[in-house]
Amino acid sequence: MTSQLNVDTIVDKAGSGGSNVKMANTSTYVSDGGDVTPNTVLGLAKVGIYYDLTNNTNQQSWNVTSITDHGTGNQQIFYANNMTGNAVSVYLSSNGYAGCGEIFGSGSNSHYQRIRDASGNLVDSTQTCSSVHGSLA
């Protein structure tokens, strides 16, 4: 027999309002249409960073240990926890440039990225964001 728990709020035992919810790697959620149950843990970004390349300032991040500046518009992001192998997906966004960002050399502990303007020149951006999806090692 299956069970169902219906609640409005989950709080810690002390009643302070916070909670620690743990999910197994096999946890799933019901999709918008209700027909698919994707894996919850695999769908989460494992690395995320928002930073200013013009002065190498990390504005906000998780699972990032450092950024190495390899010159104008060329950076390497290092992860605090390795990904499983090289099977990762990296998303890059840069505000203010009509050109493109490119990801190359993605691996289990870091990825390289470049930011270019509309003319194809490497540039440093004031607002650059990256996220990495895949499985943590």
Summarize pLDDT for 13-70 with one digit per residue, the tens. 887 777 777 888 888 888 888 787 877 877 788 999 888 877 777 788 899 999 898 9
Residue 124, amino acid? D
CA distances in angstroms from 35 to 27, 40, 60, 123, listed in the order given: 16, 15, 36, 44
Residue 59 domain boundaries = 45-133
Is residue 13, in this structure, part of any structural domain at all? no
pLDDT at 64: 92
Q: What is the pTM of this model?
A: 0.76
Percent of the chain predicted with pLDDT > 90: 9
Number of compact structural domains in the chain: 1
Whether 11 maps to a domain, the answer reads: no
